[in-house]
Amino acid sequence: MRPFLCIAALVALVVLSLALGAASLSQDGGWLIWVSRLPRTAAALLAGAGLALAGVVVQQVVQNRLVEPSLTGTPEAAMLGLLAVTLIAPGMAVAGKMLVAAGSALAGMLGFLALADRVPRQDPMLLPIVGLVYGGILGATATWFAWSADLMQYLGTWRLGEFSGVVQGRYEWLWAVAALAALLYVVADRITILGLGETQARSLGLNYGRTRALGLIVVSMLTALVLVTVGVFPFVGLVAPNLISRWRGDNLRANLGVTALFGASLVLAADVLGRLIRYPYEIPAATVFAVFGAGVFLWLLHARPGRAHG
Amino acid sequence: MRTRLLAGLAALTLAAPVLAQDLTVETATGPVQVGANPETVAVFDIAALDTLTALGVPVAGVPNPVYLSSLSEVAAQAQAVGTLFEPDFEALAVMQPDLIVVGGRSSEQLGPVSDIAPAIDMTIWGDDLPGQARARIAAYGALFGKEAEAEALTADLDAKVAEARDAVAGKGSGLILLTNGGKISVYGAGSRFGWLHGEIGLPEAVDGLDAENHGQPVSFEFLAEHDPEWLLVIDRGAAIGAEGEAATATLDNPLVAKTTAAREGQIVYLDAAPLYIAAGGAGAMMHTLDQIIAAFGASEG
């Protein structure tokens, strides 16, 4: 029954998103939906799904529920890579920029893992805090580079995820999220075993290093795709997997699709709200979501001890 | 209260001997007394540098970069004394200027630089930008003994404004648009670019845009819906020298293509630095007006 309700809510959101915009549908309605509303709706859904999935994988890799890509310095690392491209080879094709961003995101995440290995695990709160500090340092570095190269406004366009610029031809890279999601579904069981920790995973016959590398590459690519096309959305990767696992338990393969759909719905809902609040102007979807996400994050922190002991 | 009184008395005693050569200048922080005809001048505001250059006042210290290509010659002959936002205090201390001019992005530095030399804040801000620009021209004219040059410059500016008024009259409504890395925002008559509507009489394509300084973020659908006859485009990336996604690429999409402005070839790409960095500078304003005269003048209306 509940999954049915979720699907119904998602469908309602999609219809609302298609119906809502600064232009009226009375003239050329079909054309408008095709070039503007559908791309925007798809972009929000794909970005949300990608971020939620990236959150799931990161949480399994570091065995901590309170971590997500934006709490491991990954978007900041990707920004550093993008800034480097902008300074060194501004004319590079989008595919190249995307690859550089994914590569630097991966490097940033490896740095976080090196830190995570040295963080005591008794207190689950410690790791997200370390990640927050680490991301802050990378972000400050990016700011410094941008500041000295007069690229602050440029950095600003990534820092706040939103969909106002999305029209046909501006978001298609996000469809790669769907491909990565399919890949994750295939290896979902192995990713689950990752979450048991290295010793357990090895004794179950898993090639730990290779599986972990695969997971990290997928997360880097998801982060880079979303960052380059629409910008940073904090909390999605944290909120979606946590709420779903509280609701449905921890079967990763069974949850993967639901988590992706939930993340997609959350981001789309934030975008729809951002379009409504100051119609016909816009509030960035990331701003709307951050308000909601921060609240859920606080609730998760509060609820955490009860769960750990129970 | 008592300390303020004492400080006031002390200031009076100190100021009294030089009062004779002092001059009252209208600045952004109110009237300020400074010594007339300062010889060594350091400037941290591009609009001020632009207007001083137009008046033929030599400037010893400039920010780096100066952003405007028209000012690169002036910059080459002067010494760099910091950036638009931050003075290089050591360089200033060595230079010992007679006057420091701050404004806009550097206006917060008025206090710190005042410790080194007399400083004035010549910020140009708000919806009456041309009015303030004229007031600054007059103030500089009095301060540097260039009253005749100032009058001539104001007359040039007025003539240019009148020419632009004629050029846009009857050619339809326009919308001011700023592009930034693939996203757009729009600006109304009360905004920092609003003088393009008010001063030269270009009707607004969208009424009632908020007077917010940073513009309103909108989607491309907003453009399609309001269908402006003219689009005045400012590329923020180009203003700050960033080689990001160019405004032309941002606006190359089916929704913009549908507007009257695009169909009639009435999208005007205004040079961004004069509007964005040097807003209110005499040379910068005339450059923008020239661009508008050229674009609207070429149209049959």
Q: Chain B residues with CB inside 8 Å of A169's CB? A: 253
Q: How far is B200 from chain A (nearest CA, A)?
A: 27
pLDDT digits (tens, 9 = 90+) for A148-179: 887 777 787 788 888 988 998 889 999 999 99
Query: Distance between CA atoms of A119 and A122, rounded to whole angstroms?
Result: 9
CB contact under 8 A, B218 and A165: no
pLDDT digits (tens, 9 = 90+) for B106-144: 999 999 999 999 999 999 987 789 999 999 999 999 999
A297-300 long-range contacts, CB within 8 A, separation 24+:
A297/A235, A297/A238, A297/A239, A300/A65, A300/A66, A300/A238, A300/A242
Segment among A1-5, A279-283, B105-109, B181-185 with least mean pLDDT: A1-5
Non-local (6+) Cβ contacts of A303 within 8 A are none
Q: Chain B residues with CB inside 8 Å of A35's CB? A: 253-255
pLDDT digits (tens, 9 = 90+) for A251-265: 888 889 999 999 999
- B interface with A, Cβ–Cβ < 8 A, is 65, 180-184, 216-222, 224-225, 236-237, 240-244, 250, 253-255
- When CB atoms are compared, the residue of A22, A153, A168 closest to B236 is A153
How much is the mean pLDDT over chain B? 87
- When CB atoms are compared, the residue of A35, A150, A154 closest to B255 is A35
If we measure between CA atoms, which residue out of A70, A53, A69 comes closest to residue A259?
A: A53
ipTM computed for the complex: 0.81
Q: Chain A residues with CB inside 8 Å of B225's CB? A: 22-24, 280
CB contact under 8 A, B254 and A35: yes
pLDDT digits (tens, 9 = 90+) for A265-305: 999 999 999 999 988 888 999 999 999 988 888 888 777 54
B156-163 long-range contacts, CB within 8 A, separation 24+:
B156/B286, B157/B130, B157/B133, B157/B282, B157/B285, B157/B286, B160/B285, B160/B286, B160/B289, B160/B290, B160/B293, B161/B130, B161/B199, B161/B200, B161/B289, B163/B289, B163/B293
Residues A67-93 have a mean pLDDT of 89
CB contact under 8 A, B217 and A35: no
Angle between helix axes A236-248 and A285-309 (nearest 10 degrees) is: 40
For A155, name the nearest residue in chain B, comparing CA atoms only: B181
CB contact under 8 A, A165 and B216: no
CB contact under 8 A, A164 and B184: yes
Chain B interface test: which of A79, A83, A154, A155 (most B C-beta within 10 Å):
A154
Q: Is the pLDDT of residue B20 over 90?
A: no
Helix, strand, coil shares, percent, chain B, to 5: 50, 20, 35
Which residues is B186 bridged to in the sheet?
B177, B216
Q: Is the pLDDT of residue A125 over 60?
A: yes
Q: Chain A residues with CB inside 8 Å of B220's CB? A: 36, 165, 167
How much is the mean pLDDT over chain A? 88
Query: Distance between CA atoms of A12 and A18, rounded to whole angstroms?
Result: 10
pLDDT digits (tens, 9 = 90+) for A89-115: 877 888 888 899 999 999 999 999 999
Q: How far is A25 from chain B (nearest CA, A)?
A: 10
CB contact under 8 A, A23 and B221: yes
Q: Is the pLDDT of residue B296 over 90?
A: yes
Non-local (6+) Cβ contacts of B165 within 8 A are B200, B201
Q: Chain B residues with CB inside 8 Å of A146's CB? A: none
- Residue B187: which H helix or E strand, with range? strand B183-187
Task: Reduce the secondary structure of chain A to three states and give it as a string.
Answer: CHHHHHHHHHHHHHHHHHHCCCCCCCCCHHHHHHHHHHHHHHHHHHHHHHHHHHHHHHHHHHCCCCCCHHHCCHHHHHHHHHHHHHHHCCCCCHHHHHHHHHHHHHHHHHHHHHHHHCCCCCCCCHHHHHHHHHHHHHHHHHHHHHHHCCCHHHHHHHHCCCCCCCCCCCCHHHHHHHHHHHHHHHCHHHHHHHCCCHHHHHHCCCCHHHHHHHHHHHHHHHHHHHHHHCCCCCCHHHHHHHHHHHHHCCCHHHHHHHHHHHHHHHHHHHHHHHHHHCCCCCCCHHHHHHHHHHHHHHHHHHHHHHHHHC
If we measure between CA atoms, which residue out of A244, A227, A223 comes closest to residue A112?
A: A223
Q: Is the pLDDT of residue B5 over 80?
A: no
Residues B224-235 have a mean pLDDT of 93
Query: Distance between CA atoms of B209 and B216, rounded to whole angstroms?
Result: 8
Non-local (6+) Cβ contacts of B4 within 8 A are none
Which residues is A246 bridged to in the sheet?
none
CB contact under 8 A, A23 and B224: yes
The per-residue b/e assignment along A255-283, b for 16 or more CB within 10 angstroms, e otherwise, is bbebbbbbbbbbbbbbbbbbbeeeebbbb
What confidence score (pLDDT) does residue A299 get? 85
CB pairs under 8 A between A and B: 90
Non-local (6+) Cβ contacts of B94 within 8 A are none
Confidence of residue B17 (pLDDT cuts 50, 70, 90): very low
Query: Distance between CA atoms of B197 and B254, rounded to whole angstroms?
Result: 27
Query: Distance between CA atoms of B225 and B258, rounded to whole angstroms?
Result: 10
Chain A interface test: which of B64, B84, B220, B235 (most A C-beta within 10 Å):
B220
* β pairing state of B230-235 and B79-80: unpaired
Q: Chain B residues with CB inside 8 Å of A165's CB? A: 182-184, 219-220, 250
Confidence of residue A131 (pLDDT cuts 50, 70, 90): very high
Percent of chain A with pLDDT over 70: 97
What confidence score (pLDDT) does residue B6 get? 55
Segment among A23-27, B48-52, B199-203, B217-221 with least mean pLDDT: A23-27
CB contact under 8 A, A157 and B184: no
Chain B interface test: which of A31, A153, A173, A272 (most B C-beta within 10 Å):
A153
Query: Distance between CA atoms of B147 and B154, rounded to whole angstroms?
Result: 11
What confidence score (pLDDT) does residue B126 get? 75
Find where tokens 């997609």 sit: A264
What confidence score (pLDDT) does residue B239 get? 59
Confidence of residue A309 (pLDDT cuts 50, 70, 90): very low
Chain A interface test: which of B180, B216, B221, B240 (most A C-beta within 10 Å):
B221
